[in-house]
Amino acid sequence: MIVKEVLPNGLTLITESMPHVRSVAIGVWLKRGSRHEREEETGLSHFIEHMVFKGTRNRSAEVIASEVDSIGGHMDAFTAKEYASFHLKVLDEHLPLAVDILGDIVVNPLFDAAEMTKEKKVIFEEINMVEDTPDDLVMELFTEAFWPDHPLGRPILGTKRSVGGFQRDDLAAFFHAIYRPSNIVIAAAGNLDHGATAELIRKHFGELAPGGSSRNGEPPHAAFRIVTRSKKELEQVHLCMGNPGYPLGHADRYSAYILNTVLGGSMSSRLFQNVREKRGLVYSISSGLTAYSDAGILSIYAGTGLDSVDEVIRLTIDEFRIMKGERIPDAELRRAKDHLKGSLMLSLENTGSRMSHLARHEIYFGRQFSLDELLAGIEAVSADDVQRVANHVFDKEPSVCVLGNLNRYRPRASQLKI
């Protein structure tokens, strides 16, 4: 059973009771992410995510780690572009300690200056890691070019220049402005009682002063560009292509899921079969949907040799044309629906995924979609719906980013005409 409660200060608590398990996953979700930073603040949300674990008024970083380890719990955090999360998974009997720890790190962080200096080095290494991971880097470069001069186009980690300039006062001011009850959703799933959980939440979060803003600013506008970056040490060329997709709440989102699955979202997809299996041009090729509150991208990623890039682009554009011009066969539509339905149901089998599911639905929709409702949305998609969405998504040539030892290679705009 799912229960939602809004505390007097505006904080939202949502729980799902799962009596057949012995664990509880609980997370503090902030309805603000890197999108809500000014340009000079790029990376600040992510830096705060790191720093809250570096000590509070009540616990040192070592004490936080040892308390979690002593109960066999798992604690993690992440920052996304429109939200951030701090979460713990513990045995049901340890839920009070989990709420105590989460309340402490969210309400009472120290932001110690000495710890900040050390953590900047850690984040610099995280930025270096992206530079050394070409499939991540090509997507960062693509997104920055696709949504230029917009927060959704900037890297979540920030840059070494922006992170290096952060001062303690910057973190404290941003934290106290953003970490307000109206911006916070606490989600919990597992063997729990809502009333008892709510009492714990009121104890540790009830004194937060009311406030918070849900404004996202203006939506981004896509720029259709060809971007290349030469990196001589790379053996492969990494290719990212993309067109504007749909926001998370769009009426055609289920049709877009089917389109993505058929195009490159599974091992039986057209791109995987035609580019890798039949021709051996790539080891990895896939399509993916990235969706936010007011914008989205349908992107293609491939890793290939320099002499095969043009052929991979040609074959991909061919698939775009086919999906615009032809209805997908009934058997392929059925397979895509069953793939999506199976993936969805399997993804909700543990408390951590159920907790995340609760939080994201509350953040983006303000309500919960039942599993039956989600499955019905998938099942209702017709072949005509998929073709109509393909004609909308692929109405312009895609933007392209190419990364590798390029030796002056650059795709031609004429190659991208659909």
Q: Would you please indicate which residues are annotated as catalytic (active-site) residues?
A: 49
Query: Residues in the chain, how many?
Result: 418
Tokens found for residue 31: 């309805």
Closest CA to 13 of 221, 215, 238, 185: 185
The DSSP annotation for 302-363 comes to EEE-GGGHHHHHHHHHHHHHHHHHSPPPHHHHHHHHHHHHHHHHHHTSSHHHHHHHHHHHHH
Tokens found for residue 8: 């007097």
User: For 131-170, b where at least 16 C-beta lie within 10 A, e where not — what string?
Assistant: eeebeebbbbbbbbbbbeebbbbbbbbbeeebbeebeeeb
For residues 118 and 55, the answer to whether their CB atoms sit within 8 Å is no
Tokens found for residue 7: 């505390």
Tokens found for residue 180: 């307000």
* Beta strand 23-30 pairing with 12-17: unpaired
How far apart, in whole angstroms, are the C-alpha atoms of residue 71 and residue 80? 28
Three-class DSSP category at 19:
coil
How far apart, in whole angstroms, are the C-alpha atoms of residue 34 and residue 44? 7
Amino acid identity for residue 381 in this structure: V
Tokens found for residue 65: 């780690």
